[in-house]
Chain A
């Protein structure tokens, strides 16, 4: 199953996430679309947006209606999926619905500032949280500045992840790779 998780409050991002959810079904794959966090209120007839309402109706007509899911329910769906697209606000910030806290990996709060400090990043980047790439039971931070892929060691230091190692880890992971 391909899972599209929409966790954004912006109309255009929700609309595009739904378009992706519709499009991904064009090759006959089983596709599930979930609205969570700030996106949940769009489930009620698009919250006044005609395009979103139409996309929701189309998904329902295709017998795969978008579902409103709570955090723990999203985590369950992620475990069942072979591929996951998480549609966020698009700013490079993590998803906001806190559903990721219900996954096996859990929160790594506090690592962001350490990573930025170790890499000598600018003050603007220290104010941002990295997105997190969940690969199996491991978690890799994705930053907008190099080194873009980082992992914290046992001492809490953020270290750059070797590209070949990252690729090997992605391809050998048991479950889907999720960037949230």
Chain B
């Protein structure tokens, strides 16, 4: 049987503290051998540029990271700002569809 899959969705602004909580949960799950996918959309995306180092660490740990391109455009951000390729709602749907469990910081 393959590794369990955990999807984490974040849409709230950085001031909510949800990005850090999501990162903490992702790190813990990854350390347990869980396949972790994170999807960022809406106001959460504006908080990603200043968290590039944390995003890079999560990617190095094997986490799948996806960012809503429409939300990035609305925030005036591009891939270079965030350090991740931009995707869309199809990534959201795919990550949630194949997950064993979903935690939504929305």
Contact = CB atoms under 8 A, between A and B. Distances in A.
Interface string A110-145: 000000000000000000000001000000001111
Nearest to A143: B17
Interface residues of B, number: 40
A83 interface: yes
B93 A25 contact: yes
B28 A164 contact: yes
Contacts, number: 126
A16 interface: yes
Contacts of A83: 7, 96, 99, 101-102, 104
B78 interface: no
Given A90-B11, A163-B27, A167-B29, A29 B101 contact: no
Interface residues of chain A: helix, strand, loop or mixed (majority): mixed
Contacts of B92: 20, 23-24, 26
B24 A177 contact: no
A22 B89 CA distance: 8
A25 B43 CA distance: 21
A17 interface: yes
Interface in A10-62: 13, 16-17, 19-20, 22-29
B79 interface: no
A88 B42 CA distance: 12
B104 to A, nearest CB: 4
18 contacts: A17-B106, A26-B92, A29-B96, A29-B97, A84-B104, A86-B104, A86-B106, A88-B12, A90-B12, A90-B16, A91-B13, A91-B15, A142-B21, A149-B25, A163-B31, A167-B25, A170-B103, A179-B106
